[in-house]
Amino acid sequence: MPRYVRLGDLPRKHHIQFRKPDGGLYAEQLFSTRGFSGPMSTLYHINLPTEVASWEDRGSVRPQYLEEEPLRHRHLKTSRLKPCGDAVSGRIPLMGNQDVEWNQVFVADQMDYYYKNADGDECLFIHDGDGEMESLFGTIQFKKGDYLVIPRGTIYKLRFDKLPVRMLAIVSFGPIEVPKRYRNEYGQLLEHAPYTQRDIRPPSDLPVHGQRVQTQVLIRARHHHTMYTHPYHPLDVVGWDGYVFPFAFNIMDFQPITGQLHMPPPIHQTFEGQNFVVCSFCPRMLDYHPEAIAVPYNHSNIDSDEVLYYCNDKFGSRKGIEEGSITLHPLGIPHGPQPGAVEASLGAKRTEELAVMVDTFHPFKLTKESLQIEDPDYWKSWSKPAGPPMTGHAEMTGD
Ligand SMILES: [Fe+2]
């Protein structure tokens, strides 16, 4: 994140003696996500962050992808999932590739351990529910519609006010960043960006857990889980500063860019990863040219897969789609409005749609789990209906 943040107590300079009230030294840790050349933060612990009481093998978490599948448009209905597990153990991998992994979570339980993903950065999208993320860098209060962007290596735990809660867990094997075109040479967000630095919510509070009490941290690394037990509480940081930290950003703080004629998906871009982007389709005014067609034109995404997660049911023109639906429009074949949707959209002034989109530049592969919630007839939804054309204003304009 291109911004300097500091929280808690810090010594005057890096790498000098920083003493506890009892005269002992705090343990300094450099927290870097790209060697010694990328963004870094420096943390000061009460205990040695290297101290471990024991560890236990918890097995592979590598998704089993389906290879060599025939090409077709896909529709998954996450409403068919039952609440299961916590915010980590309940993750169901639905699709992924070498750059990014899409996990669906219908959280049933609170976490009773801490978690660290050393394989990748995480972008969690909280579909519904409120709560609190405790982390190595401090506490973030989160709410419905928040993205939680968590740098790899961050120790954290989610606590929800009420359960069950629906969420997405997008794991990125490269860094998740604010798009470069939104930033100036100093990293500051530019005036044309669809959100501002004030919308980014870093940790605001740093509770210090100094007690020597055995605490578990589940670590994901090399697509494998290992449960570490430390003889102290890992959130024992008295202060930190730098450019690496988790943050929250609410989808309703995204300021949609609108135009006289239809604007392409990049104007919805929220974050960028390695070979993929995350976009937010938010309620907004529609195209205002007197002859505008407010729904997108047919397009051949010959080089990217497009996945949309529908956060509400304001999608009147896309038949069969419901809140919690996921559509995958794969590279290699065109997609666009369903028959009658263009005519039905004429004169529409506003859309209330809300969706999260992930576009990838390498094909997404589905998992066996995704087939269990698939609507196998979705590819037929572009067939011309035998009956009268659709009437009324189309609400889905997005992708
Ligand atoms: Fe599209």
Inform me whether the pLDDT recorded for 157 exceeds 90.
yes
* Ligand 1 center from residue 44 Cα (angstroms): 46
* Ligand 1 center from residue 356 Cα (angstroms): 13
Band of the pLDDT at 1, cuts 50, 70, 90?
low
* Ligand 1 center from residue 298 Cα (angstroms): 8
| CB-based contact 292:286 (threshold 8 Å) | yes
pLDDT of amino acid 195: 98
**pLDDT, tens digit, for every residue of 227-239?**
999 999 999 999 9
Rounded CA-CA distance 160/144 in Å is 11
Q: What one-character DSSP code corresponds to residue 175?
A: -
* Ligand 1 center from residue 10 Cα (angstroms): 48
* Ligand 1 center from residue 367 Cα (angstroms): 22
**pLDDT, tens digit, for every residue of 288-341?**
999 999 888 998 878 899 999 999 988 655 777 899 999 999 999 999 988 888
* Ligand 1 center from residue 211 Cα (angstroms): 52
Computed on alpha carbons and rounded to an integer, the radius of gyration of the chain in Å comes to 23
Name the region of 80 (left: φ>0; alpha: ψ -120 to 50; beta: rest).
alpha
| CB-based contact 119:91 (threshold 8 Å) | no
**pLDDT, tens digit, for every residue of 35-92?**
889 999 999 999 999 999 999 999 999 999 998 899 999 999 999 999 999 999 999 9
Q: What one-character DSSP code corresponds to residue 138?
A: E
pLDDT of amino acid 391: 40
**pLDDT, tens digit, for every residue of 53-68?**
999 999 999 999 998 8
Stretch 350-374: mean pLDDT, rounded?
96
pLDDT of amino acid 141: 98
Q: How many residues can be counted in the chain?
A: 399
* Ligand 1 center from residue 379 Cα (angstroms): 15
* Ligand 1 center from residue 357 Cα (angstroms): 10
| CB-based contact 142:131 (threshold 8 Å) | yes
**Residue-wise over 72-83: b if at least 16 C-beta within 10 A, else e?**
ebbbbbbeebee
Supply the pTM of this predicted model.
Answer: 0.95
Band of the pLDDT at 367, cuts 50, 70, 90?
very high
Here the tokens at position 391 are 């009437």
pLDDT of amino acid 300: 84
* Ligand 1 center from residue 64 Cα (angstroms): 27
pLDDT of amino acid 158: 98
Band of the pLDDT at 117, cuts 50, 70, 90?
very high
Name the region of 169 (left: φ>0; alpha: ψ -120 to 50; beta: rest).
beta
* Ligand 1 center from residue 231 Cα (angstroms): 51
* Ligand 1 center from residue 306 Cα (angstroms): 6
* Ligand 1 center from residue 328 Cα (angstroms): 10
* Ligand 1 center from residue 336 Cα (angstroms): 7
Rounded CA-CA distance 163/108 in Å is 6
Q: Which segment of 71-75, 199-203, 388-392 scores lowest on mean pLDDT?
A: 388-392
Stretch 208-214: mean pLDDT, rounded?
95
* Ligand 1 center from residue 396 Cα (angstroms): 12
* Ligand 1 center from residue 389 Cα (angstroms): 23
Query: Chain-wide mean pLDDT for the chain?
Result: 93
* Ligand 1 center from residue 120 Cα (angstroms): 26
| CB-based contact 225:124 (threshold 8 Å) | no
Band of the pLDDT at 398, cuts 50, 70, 90?
low
Band of the pLDDT at 137, cuts 50, 70, 90?
very high
* Ligand 1 center from residue 382 Cα (angstroms): 14
pLDDT of amino acid 390: 46
| CB-based contact 115:140 (threshold 8 Å) | no
pLDDT of amino acid 396: 53
* Ligand 1 center from residue 199 Cα (angstroms): 27
